[in-house]
Structure 1
């Protein structure tokens, strides 16, 4: 089947493909070819068994009709003909939900997700979290189900598996060596809790342990740097080709390392206004370079973390066919998006995911770099890579006042700091901890047994065995299956229970409603009703991702600085992020948009900077990212907040209100 797919992917010189179009679908040669293939949404063309013409046509027509009806219902069924020029004129939450449920009847069948949120994540009702990307390990209820004691649990006790469950410890090793070691128990205790967490994660992501090895790193940026420092860029002029429509710290760190090691760095471009991959440009870059062997590393996210634009799996197959190693950036994918037919057929050489402990509460965690064992030859033992940030998952530490005369137990008050896209754990866990006692154990002691450091007994360990004597020889070790520890990750359990289809439908409904609702906001002062919000990337679309990039404009048509929108949103208990769209390609017919929207990186996203300056050109935007626990009320609260900018004095009122409350006004 993969050979068949690749046959239709090698179309680098197909004149039928537009410069701003997506990767073209397999050509149809009459009715017979149409019967042989059906296209599964978000996946790849698949050959189906021969069937009667009527039956096969019915399946294809039903899928197309379903997608068409979804878009039509979303575009015309929400507030038909309505425009909102005052935030006080917005429909109430109940009325808006009634309209939403009528336009998206499939959402009513997804009540299980709301039940999970109500029972396990009640903290999300107080604060709207639209700034998370990654995979949630534990639930809020699980993390707060018991208060950890200040003393170490007895060895082998049933209460050992308690919050905060694990810490991370730095280790000095190369990526290649770590892959070769696998998940065998090491001196740092990784074989116990570390192996259990690894097995649970890989099972949830449907990544086979016999095919891939999982290496834990401190964060997403570290994972990309580690891969760049370990990949054999220096040999035979290999290249790095990335597909990002926004400024990514992780991709930037990777590009810097690749350039230093002699690689040519290239980026895909994205066609305005839909921010789709510029297919003609990317095809040319895929076929450039050496004819034999591997051309280099192709870094590909299936969905933009900023705009929600989705990219076909076919690009991965095209890259593999033209001799590229493929690294899949799965950090912006949904919790179950890796469990798809496309990835079961097109196995990338590397996969990067990031994991955090609790959605909306505790973003500390780690990143996972999955290396295909068959691709190990592409990695080198790098001295620099040994100090980048490979980590071990170790039992959590709780040092009391009796240990070295001080305590490292930290009781953090609740706050909602912005968890950045790439969490920096080099000095401490960052982000809100909600009173959870987190003991930091970031230690660079790869040779020291984590169970014995500082004389501390870990929470999770096997009971000590009596010393061997002549009369009592050491018993043989138990079978491997008896030594395996199991962990309970209720965040992963909840995603597994919902499944890929339910999560995808839920996010599809909410994100498309949000896009339509944003476009209904119009300034009252303008003659023709100037829009309050500009959405970048795909608008109403069946396959759009769960992220929305937008900007707010005042009644004079000037953009409100994204950083200011983010700060004001946080004051209204809504967490958003900001980003910089880049690598944008404008066709000639969009010259006016190029002049009106582009600004220099470093301008801060306020008034458009003079294009005569230096620096890369792009667009600063506000971003809202939905997760599988997001619900309709989250989207409605964001919509209601953005509508407040219809009041021309809203920003000034907010400044005066916080000054009156004796709070420091933050200048932007």
Structure 2
């Protein structure tokens, strides 16, 4: 790849909106041949060139006609050459999450952020012998199923806990500091509570927020959420008036005029109106929402709760926390990606808001109880107040000593079998090498820890958080952007045979878009136009070793021109109530299949999902699968 022209550098978008060579094509220049430097133009070009460059003028009507993984990747890398710069993620996946390769498992059902890597669950039993002969080999790895920690209920009053704190183990204190550092949240401004899960965090806010004085609850969700439903129910019992934003069919963008009206209200006085719950982007459709809504709400006297549950790793770094300073933040963590979805929720409360909260039960707040630790413990340690030796983490040692960990790939990857392109030759300056930069970063991190006294009692090794920190938000975001847009484009290329191009897949929310989130909501339709039930798609995908989820889209607003489509696509989740009943209207929506891309997702995952969905082009696919399942003496899937 030739070096870029220095004269072109000044024309590049500062936000990295122009990641591919086709953005420098003549078509992207003005009439006088001068490059446009508009971010909006770059983002538009990204979408249009993605659509025209991936399988151009092609429709796939037979699952057997799909290009191979190798051929698809070759075309993918031509459109997104910068994807090769994210090879570090594949290195991490192969080294730290070997179970994904061993089981050939594609995990597209994880929302949130992992704490630990799968390699931390490994325990290597070394034979105790004084014989140092080279012929003596180590025992094979054994996998331990210890959960790293467990949770226990914490009693008391939430306001008291927020104002005065309470006893906590060294384990909890260390993990709290690690998480707040990872999310870039200052303990000078916020107090953090561990909760049993995401739902418990929302319920705690609902039961302590002063709805008697600030009566309104306004939420912005295009999908049904157990946590939000629980919050609404608890709030209404305490006198709140619950409202919801609506989303325009068919791209599911926020119905701006109505939301602005609900935020502004009728009163002109600067009085606190209530609680505005804002999710940044949809964890189901991948739609991103302008941060401006938080500012508008704050200007109109609302307290703001930011739901960061759908944010990818490190997105908190770029989401402008210091600018908007929400009153509450909720974010979940799970233990190990692809292995252990259990974990906890984190509730951040701005300290200046604690005084307005009302006394309520602390049900849902938990203590974290350390069990068998994946780090070195001194001989005199006991219980959860563990004192550890001060030593670099295993991950830090490995990264510092590995000169190839962050090197550019120049050969075929062993795990995926995909041909990667060679990256430009790296600088030979010792200070600019990846290993030197990594070593400096690790030393700096250790110095900060020592300065803050974090190592005095406990140094928890959260390898997943460490990996994300080292990879950085730009690399992770760009990688997900390339993958999700390729997948969207490829799914839209699937058409039923002999039906004049009837699409196999309907995608809800944003299609190909530069700033869409790494989540996708879709449905599969047969050649007659009838929807294949999402739960059936999920179960068949699971049989192909692909983990998907399903959800329910609601609060959809249809313009008059979509009246017929409104009657056709919506249905009630539960068959109850009358058409004029509010509960009936709230139950109207669309069940969908959902896929979510974690930071470890790779192109092979996308191609595998695409190939699976393409099998529905066979009109007899479902019947064949039912017969095969029954023939194997297994329980029949109910449709």
Q: Shorter-normalised TM-score: what interval?
A: 0.7 to 0.9
Q: Distance in 1 between matches of 2:575 and 2:72?
A: 37
Alpha carbons 1:599, 1:611 under 8 Å: kept: no
Cα gap change, 1:397/1:40 in structure 2, threshold over 3 Å: closer, same or farther? closer
Q: Distance in 1 between matches of 2:40 and 2:589?
A: 35
Selected match of 2:107 from 114, 129, 135 = 129
Selected match of 1:191 from 152, 169, 190 = 169
Cα gap change, 1:522/1:460 in structure 2, threshold over 3 Å: closer, same or farther? same
* 1:72 aligns to 2:48 (yes or no): yes
Cα gap change, 1:59/1:322 in structure 2, threshold over 3 Å: closer, same or farther? farther
Counterparts of residues 452-531 of structure 1 (less than 5 Å):
457-458=382-383, 460-462=385-387, 483-526=456-499, 528-531=500-503
Query: What SS does structure 1 have at the residue aligned with 2:321?
Result: helix
Selected match of 2:244 from 255, 262, 267 = 267
Q: Distance in 1 between matches of 2:609 and 2:230?
A: 32
Query: What SS does structure 2 have at the residue aligned with 1:392?
Result: strand
- Residue 209 of structure 1 deviates from its aligned partner by 1.3
* 1:636 aligns to 2:607 (yes or no): yes
Greater Cα shift, 295-304 or 282-291: 282-291
Query: What SS does structure 2 have at the residue aligned with 1:549?
Result: strand
Q: For this pair of structures, how many residues does the alignment match? A: 521
Alpha carbons 1:232, 1:380 under 8 Å: kept: yes
Q: Distance in 1 between matches of 2:535 and 2:110?
A: 17
> Partner residue of 2:573?
601
CA RMSD of superposed structures (Å) = 2.8
* 1:645 aligns to 2:628 (yes or no): no
Q: Deviations over 1:157-181 (max 9, x none)?
A: xxxx995332211111232222223
Q: Distance in 2 between matches of 1:603 and 1:88?
A: 40
Q: Deviations over 1:182-218 (max 9, x none)?
A: 4x6x1xxx23000111100110111111111110000
TM-score, reference length from structure 1: 0.74
Greater Cα shift, 172-181 or 632-641: 172-181
> Partner residue of 1:208?
186
> Partner residue of 1:180?
163
Query: What SS does structure 2 have at the residue aligned with 1:133?
Result: coil
Query: What SS does structure 1 have at the residue aligned with 2:316?
Result: coil
Cα gap change, 1:162/1:339 in structure 2, threshold over 3 Å: closer, same or farther? farther
> Partner residue of 1:656?
627
- Residue 481 of structure 1 deviates from its aligned partner by 5.7
> Partner residue of 1:90?
66
- Residue 592 of structure 1 deviates from its aligned partner by 2.7
Cα gap change, 1:94/1:132 in structure 2, threshold over 3 Å: closer, same or farther? same
Cα gap change, 1:318/1:128 in structure 2, threshold over 3 Å: closer, same or farther? same
- Residue 107 of structure 1 deviates from its aligned partner by 1.1
Query: What SS does structure 2 have at the residue aligned with 1:648?
Result: coil
> Partner residue of 1:410?
none
Query: What SS does structure 2 have at the residue aligned with 1:579?
Result: strand
Selected match of 1:338 from 316, 324, 345 = 316
Query: What SS does structure 1 have at the residue aligned with 2:306?
Result: strand
Selected match of 1:391 from 366, 376, 395 = 366
Selected match of 2:557 from 562, 585, 596 = 585
> Partner residue of 1:168?
151
Q: Distance in 2 between matches of 1:491 and 1:543?
A: 25
- Residue 374 of structure 1 deviates from its aligned partner by 1.3
Selected match of 1:105 from 81, 93, 98 = 81
Greater Cα shift, 558-567 or 170-179: 170-179
Q: Distance in 2 between matches of 1:199 and 1:121?
A: 25
TM-score, reference length from structure 2: 0.77
* 1:306 aligns to 2:284 (yes or no): yes
Q: Deviations over 1:362-417 (max 9, x none)?
A: 011100001111111231111xx33x21001122179xxxxxxxxxxxxxxxxxxx
Alpha carbons 1:131, 1:624 under 8 Å: kept: yes
Selected match of 1:240 from 200, 204, 217 = 217
Structure 1 spans left out of the alignment, 5+ residues: 1-37, 43-57, 149-160, 399-435, 437-455, 464-478
Alpha carbons 1:296, 1:325 under 8 Å: kept: yes
Selected match of 2:120 from 132, 142, 149 = 142
Q: Deviations over 1:513-561 (max 9, x none)?
A: 11100100000131x1210000000001100000010000001000000
Cα gap change, 1:603/1:578 in structure 2, threshold over 3 Å: closer, same or farther? farther
- Residue 488 of structure 1 deviates from its aligned partner by 0.6
Q: Deviations over 1:616-662 (max 9, x none)?
A: 21111000000111111111111100000001111111111011111
Counterparts of residues 554-565 of structure 1 (less than 5 Å):
554-565=526-537
